[in-house]
Amino acid sequence: MVEFTMDLNDDQKEVRDWIHGFAADVIRPAAAEWDEREETPWPVIQEAAKVGIYSLDFYAQQYFDPTGLGIPMAMEELFWGDAGIALSIVGTGLAAVGVLANGTEEQIGTWIPQMYGDANDVKVAAFCSSEPDAGSDVASMRTRAVYDEAKDEWVLNGTKTWATNGGIANVHVVVAVVDSGLGSKGHASFIVPAGTPGLSQGQKFKKHGIRASHTAEVVLENARVPGSCLLGGKEKLDERLARARERAKSGGERVKNAAMATFEASRPAVGAMAVGTARAAYEVALEYATTREQFGRPIIDNQGVAFQLADMRTAIDAARLLVWRASWMAVNGKPFTAAEGSMSKLFASETAKKVTGQAIQILGGNGFTREYPVERMHRDAAIYTIFEGTSEIQRLVIARTLSGMPIR
């Protein structure tokens, strides 16, 4: 086990500076345009692919950093650039992780390259889990997958919502119910390639923030996929369902949900995104406060402004500490006995909302206009308390973990 440290080594610093340079030189100059257009920033994704940031290899290298700091460091720098564009760059990773976590070696080798394409023909992928009536309550999922044994095909029906890259993806990873009697343990994941008959894009959402990231419904109407598109294979699924049924009979249904445990381990990455947005807003506010003069002196000389900046920086550093601790714990196999993953996501996301709001206040009327980026950052920050589990869900997970109650 690697000891926890806040000191980045030389390799990590080099990577951090490289990503920061890309965020500063490529992402930031394009941020306002793509926010206004509310379209996927394909040219920026292509540039990210050319330099190697938009690739599975890059994220794998950061994920396997033994200190655990690779992913949060990368997320913070990209989202410091712009949250909407950054989410367009990293969104494919959600689907890739779904395949890596559940797929066979053959499925991993077949589908993940198709998610990214190449620098000359970039592709994206979508992870489709949430539904109109099943967001935080994953046990209420209604999308069904039925096996047609005669044709060795799975037939999927249902509607997914809030899918990043939904409908425009080259590969969709769809979570569906295969045994409704087992609740969330009766779910399985499927590959649904672009062009599959019965697969279509539903409503594309016009959002408050992260507007450069495509978010839409995905509709499945008797969409048939080969048996080989069931992640992990049918034999493995049948074994897992059999164990779940036995546990249910013996009262084992109160065992901690494995999917929830996976979400708990991934939440620090979202916390790091929030830290990046908060840091960006703080830096704009700090520069403004030191250069903007009122009554013959910089406004940072006013205690009301200075104290706000002090609180902003303190909260950002505290959020980063929580994120880095949880990331280190996850990589080194240390159990989240106090829901440290949820703690990091909760505090960082709430910090991003508050800090971006304070930045607008410090800039005054200028902060309320689109001439300054803090208005956009404040809109973007709102998503962090909602996706990957709302702040209310994080508090519930933390409370139940501390009390010993099961996380459903």
Given a contact cutoff of 8 angstroms between Cβ atoms, the answer to whether 89 and 46 are in contact is no
Q: What does the alpha-carbon distance between residue 405 and residue 408 come to, in Å, rounded to a whole number?
A: 9
Active-site entry in 77, 217, 388, 392: 388
- Count of residues making up the chain: 408
293 is catalytic: no
Given a contact cutoff of 8 angstroms between Cβ atoms, the answer to whether 311 and 56 are in contact is no
Q: For 162, list phi and psi in degrees, rounded to 5.
A: 55, 35
Given a contact cutoff of 8 angstroms between Cβ atoms, the answer to whether 183 and 252 are in contact is no
Q: What does the alpha-carbon distance between residue 129 and residue 172 come to, in Å, rounded to a whole number?
A: 10
Provide the CB-side half-sphere exposure for 163 (13 A, CA). Answer: 31
Catalytic residues: 388
